[in-house]
């Protein structure tokens, strides 16, 4: 089914939207989640949360590229799960406990200023990526957006793993220079 | 700036850039799939060619295309192979095979009329269908680690217990099994 039709189903509040989404994007979303979480059950849960979030956010949102929209949701949900799990693992540490307790003094850990900063940073990174050759750009996005293994990312960028590794290193250095030039403190 | 912020920011890069990579990935996957299918087709042709060649030099005098084991017929297929479709004529659909040896791809056996053959299991299941072919599929796992000397019955018994329509005409096939006659 076309993306547009699936989005229409969401707008009609037709539950078939979830079914069609799962049918068309289930594996792709699971892969993103699994790349981040490396755990089958957590990944499945993240994908299910993605469906739920999509259901709750479309409408009002009307994604033009559904795969990107859903992928972004899965990525963000999975990263949250990962962070929560990592925090839980650190519970024994007094340092982690102190940080956690001090967190109560802040209204919301992700405040508006930080949100804006992240958005501005995202724009700077997008601009930087546009200056890169196609294969380097795809390699960077594959590795750091889709969180693919180096091997997988190198494969669809048609380069060897070692070449991909050194290319990524150079991209990271260039990104650092670019961000410094843009006024970011690193 | 923290690493977390950087990760979050990468998550918000422009749709167009992400979509481009997503499409490249998809294209790459499709190409791999086509390559695999082409390779499989080539291999199938080579195997087919080998059988045809073998038949052409006339080393086979036995016609394997319609061989009966007990009440059970399996037909079709090229020289040297049996079809993977088994058709019951009397309702007794069991193929009894005594396992003589085993290898990772399957096991060799002896039919009721004394023929030796080799069963290759390409995956771990056999599939039975009955009735008008529209009925639900019954998956019957085939043994993966058969002990030497054990008896093997493909599909039939389990099927019988479950369906209760065993005596009627039915077709039982195991699409994942290839039967070779042992030379």
* ipTM reported for the complex, 2 dp: 0.78
pLDDT at A74: 92
B180 SS3 class: strand
Q: In chain A, positions 88-117, which contact chain B (CB-CB < 8 Å)?
A: 114, 117
Q: What is the pLDDT of residues B54-106, one digit of tens each?
A: 433 333 222 222 233 333 333 322 222 222 233 333 333 334 333 333 333 34
Q: How far apart are CA A113 and CA A119, in angstroms?
A: 10
A143 touches chain B (CB under 8 A): no
Does B12 sit within 8 Å of A145, measured CB to CB?
A: no
Q: Using an 8 Å CB-CB cutoff, list chain A residues near B10.
A: 122, 125, 144-145
A65, A4 Cβ separation under 8 angstroms: no
pLDDT of residue B84: 29
B17:A129 CB<8 A = yes
- Contact residues on chain B for A121, CB-CB shorter than 8 A: 1, 5-6, 9
Q: Is residue B165 predicted with pLDDT exceeding 60?
A: no
Contact B9 A121 (CB under 8 A): yes
**pLDDT band at residue B143 under the 50/70/90 scheme:** very low
Contact flag B8-A118 (C-beta cutoff 8 Å): yes
CB B99 within 8 A of CB B146: yes
State residue A91's pLDDT score.
66
Cβ separation B20–A184 shorter than 8 A? no
**Residue B147 has what pLDDT?**
45
Binning pLDDT at 50, 70 and 90, where does residue B2 land? confident
- Among B7, B17, B20, select the one facing A79 at the smallest CB separation: B7
Task: Give the residue carrying structure tokens 């930087």.
Answer: A128
Stronger pLDDT, B35 or B94, i.e. the higher one? B35
Pick the range with the lowest mean pLDDT from B116-120, B129-133, B159-163.
B129-133
Min Cα separation A95/chain B (Å): 18
CB contacts of A144 in chain B (<8 Å) are: 7, 10
Distances (CA, A) of B10 to A25, A31, A130, A153, B4: 21, 18, 13, 16, 10
Closest to B12 (Cβ–Cβ): which among A67, A69, A122? A122
Q: Residue A108: what pLDDT? A: 54
Handedness of CA B28, B29, B34, B38 (dihedral sign): positive
Confidence (pLDDT) at A73 = 92
pLDDT of residue A70: 92
Q: Which residue has the higher pLDDT, A82 or B126?
A: A82
Nearest C-alpha of chain A: how many angstroms from B138?
A: 24
Residues in chain A: 186
The continuous run of DSSP H or E covering B177 comes out as strand B177-181
Percent helix, percent strand, percent coil in chain B, to nearest 5: 30, 25, 40
Q: State the pTM of this model.
A: 0.54
* Mean pLDDT of all residues in B161-168: 34
Under DSSP, the state recorded for B134 is T
Q: How many cross-chain Cβ pairs, A to B, lie less than 8 Å apart?
A: 81
pLDDT for B27: 77
Quickly tell me which residue has 């080799």 as its tokens.
B118
Q: Are B48 and B147 in contact (CB under 8 A)?
A: no
- pLDDT (tens place) for every residue of chain A, 186 residues total: 788 889 988 888 888 888 888 888 888 899 999 988 888 888 888 888 888 888 888 888 888 888 889 999 999 999 988 888 887 777 667 766 676 666 666 555 556 677 778 888 888 899 999 998 888 898 899 888 988 888 888 887 888 888 888 888 998 888 888 888 888 776
pLDDT score of B137: 30
Q: What is the pLDDT of residue B149?
A: 40
- Across the interface, whether the CB atoms of B17 and A141 are under 8 A apart is answered yes
* Residue contact A75–B11, C-beta within 8 A: yes
Decide if pLDDT at B36 tops 50: yes
pLDDT score for B158: 28
With a CB cutoff of 8 Å and minimum separation 6, the contacts of B21 are: A137, A138, A141, A142, A145, A146
Could you tell me the sign of the dihedral formed by the alpha carbons of A105, A110, A113, A118, in that order?
A: positive
**CB contact (8 A) between residue B21 and residue A184:** no
- As beta bridge partners, residue B179 has B119
Measured between CB atoms, which of B19, B24, B25 is closest to A68?
B19
Question: Contact A141/B13, CB-based, under 8 Å?
Answer: yes
């Amino acid at each position: 089914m076309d993306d547009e039709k699936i989005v229409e189903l969401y707008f009609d509040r037709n539950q078939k939207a979830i079914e069609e989404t799962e049918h068309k994007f289930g594996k792709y979303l699971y892969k993103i989640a699994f790349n981040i979480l490396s755990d089958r059950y957590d990944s499945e849960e993240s994908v299910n949360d993605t469906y739920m979030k999509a259901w709750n956010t479309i409408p009002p949102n009307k994604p033009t590229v559904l795969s990107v929209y859903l992928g972004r949701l899965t990525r963000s949900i999975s990263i949250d799960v990962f962070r929560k799990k990592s925090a839980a693992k650190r519970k024994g540490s007094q340092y982690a406990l102190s940080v956690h307790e001090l967190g109560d003094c802040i209204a919301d850990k992700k405040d508006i200023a930080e949100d804006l900063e992240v958005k501005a940073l995202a724009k700077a990174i997008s601009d930087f990526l546009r200056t890169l050759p196609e294969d380097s750009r795809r390699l960077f996005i594959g590795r750091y957006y889709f969180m693919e293994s180096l091997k997988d990312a190198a494969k669809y960028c048609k380069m060897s793993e070692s070449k991909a590794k050194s290319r990524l290193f150079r991209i990271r250095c260039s990104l650092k220079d670019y961000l410094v030039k843009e006024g970011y403190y690193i | 700036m923290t690493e977390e912020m950087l990760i979050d920011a990468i998550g918000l890069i422009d749709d167009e850039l992400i979509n481009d990579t997503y499409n490249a990935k998809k294209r790459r996957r499709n190409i791999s799939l086509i390559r695999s299918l082409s390779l499989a087709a080539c291999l199938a042709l080579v195997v087919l060619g080998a059988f045809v060649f073998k038949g052409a030099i006339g080393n086979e005098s036995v016609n394997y295309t319609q061989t009966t084991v007990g009440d059970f017929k399996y037909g079709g297929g090229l020289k040297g192979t049996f079809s993977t479709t088994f058709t019951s004529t009397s309702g007794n659909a069991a193929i009894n095979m005594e396992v003589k040896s085993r290898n990772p791809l399957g096991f060799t056996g002896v039919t009721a009329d004394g023929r030796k053959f080799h069963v290759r299991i390409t995956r771990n299941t056999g599939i039975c269908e009955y009735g008008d072919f529209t009925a639900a599929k019954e998956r019957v796992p085939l043994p993966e680690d058969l002990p030497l000397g054990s008896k093997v019955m493909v599909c039939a018994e389990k099927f019988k217990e479950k369906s209760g329509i065993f005596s009627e005409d039915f077709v039982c096939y195991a699409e994942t099994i290839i039967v070779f006659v042992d030379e």
